[in-house]
Amino acid sequence: MTKIILPLFLLLSFSLTSLSQKLKPGFDKEEYREMMLISAKTSALDSNYYHSLPFPAHFTLQYRSSSIGLDNLWELWTDDKSGKAVISIRGTTEKAESWLANFYAAMVPAKGELRLNSHEVFPYQLASEPKAAVHVGWLLSMIYLSKEILPKINEQYQQGNKDILIMGHSQGGAISYLLTSYLYNLQRLNQLPKDIRFKTYCSAAPKPGNLYYAYEYEAMTGGGWAFNVVNAADWVPEMPISIQTLNDFNNVNPFTNAKQLIRKQKFPKNLVLKHVYNQLDKPTRRAQRKYEKYLGKMASKLIKKYLPDFTAPTYYNSNYYVRTGATIVLLPDEEYYKLYPDDPTKLFPHHFHKQYLYLLNRLSSF
């Protein structure tokens, strides 16, 4: 009898463990697939977008927000068997304000505050490094979403659900970066329980901030707790356009004392070197100022059409956007391009969920 009971007990224990399996670090191909199926539902403007895709296998929709901020939206999905929850953030829609969130591309410090209206100033911390900076349009979107998301996280925590996946595709991926940073920093500041485990999948996401932000994000989520999944044929992860000036280097760099060294050279060598230095330095500085003017100061005037009480912040003088996070590259091959060719008549020939899921199926390294 004992010989029968013991194997049954072990089998039952294994089954219960599997059902209550906690989040694990590392890129999980099937986990990302499930997140993509959820994201397709969140992001779809109508059912035609996802009608050929299966429904998520493990998670069910619990909450869908209304449109907030710059036509931003998020959903909460849960898996009762495992106790996991998913925060799924919608990407860009067809509305002008949604696109404006992308084009409002000046940078602001990754620690500061935004004045949303005359009676609400929202403090935020996404990084502690003073030189870390992020995209202001997606920060503004994240802030509006976070005001709804945080109470739902606390509800999940009260129910015993401490494993939360954060998922976003396209603009949703960019916002997911910033939301992840915001939540981790709330934990650091003891404003959110530290035993909540977050795991993030940013899919087809554009670049969220500068190198110093990327450093902190990667250190904070290191060990396999955040991934950036990119189709190598997709142009969206190449955005926003990046401009690196000499101001974007660390304090100690080869250019720190360049002007002093040039002045010490004998005439006319000093004039020649000064001319060359200025020819290399000034164009990038001028370009950065123009980008900040059009994608910051002028874009903020358009923002006020949709958020009339918003006060534009002081911008960080940089547009040095970089790829962020541990990246999983989906490489297209000849078979892929037969199905999804480079079609100049289409704006997003390689960007949607179907293209990413097709390449995921062909990913053999995980």
Inside any domain, residue 263: no
The whole-number average pLDDT for the span 20-29 is: 89
User: How many domains does one find in the chain?
Assistant: 1
Structure tokens at 198: 């977050």
pLDDT confidence tier of residue 120, bands split at 50, 70 and 90: very high
Q: What is the DSSP letter of 209?
A: B
Inside any domain, residue 191: yes
Give the pLDDT of residue 278. Answer: 80
Give the pLDDT of residue 273. Answer: 66
Inside any domain, residue 41: yes
Inside any domain, residue 250: no
| Residue 74 near residue 149 (C-beta atoms within 8 A) | yes
The whole-number average pLDDT for the span 280-302 is: 94
Inside any domain, residue 317: yes
Is a pLDDT exceeding 70 seen at residue 15?
no
Inside any domain, residue 333: yes
What are the tens digits of pLDDT across the range 318-340?
999 999 999 999 999 999 999 99
Inside any domain, residue 95: yes
Inside any domain, residue 266: no
CA–CA separation, 176 and 103 (whole Å): 17
Residues spanned by the domain of 109: 24-242+312-361
The mean pLDDT value of the chain amounts to 92
The percentage of the chain sitting over the pLDDT mark of 90, rounded to a whole number, equals: 82
The CB density around residue 253, as the number of other CB atoms within 10 Å, is: 11
What are the tens digits of pLDDT across the range 226-276?
999 999 999 999 999 999 999 999 988 887 777 777 787 778 777 766 887
The percentage of the chain sitting over the pLDDT mark of 70, rounded to a whole number, equals: 93
pLDDT confidence tier of residue 102, bands split at 50, 70 and 90: very high
Give the DSSP per-residue string, 211-258: HHHHHHHHHHSTTTSEEEEEETT-SGGGPSP-B--GGGS-SSSTTTTH
Q: Which residues pair with 136 in a beta bridge?
A: none
What are the tens digits of pLDDT across the range 134-161?
999 999 999 999 999 999 999 999 999 9
What are the tens digits of pLDDT across the range 79-93?
999 999 999 999 999
Residue 124: which CATH number? 3.40.50.1820
The CB density around residue 211, as the number of other CB atoms within 10 Å, is: 20
pTM attached to this predicted model: 0.91
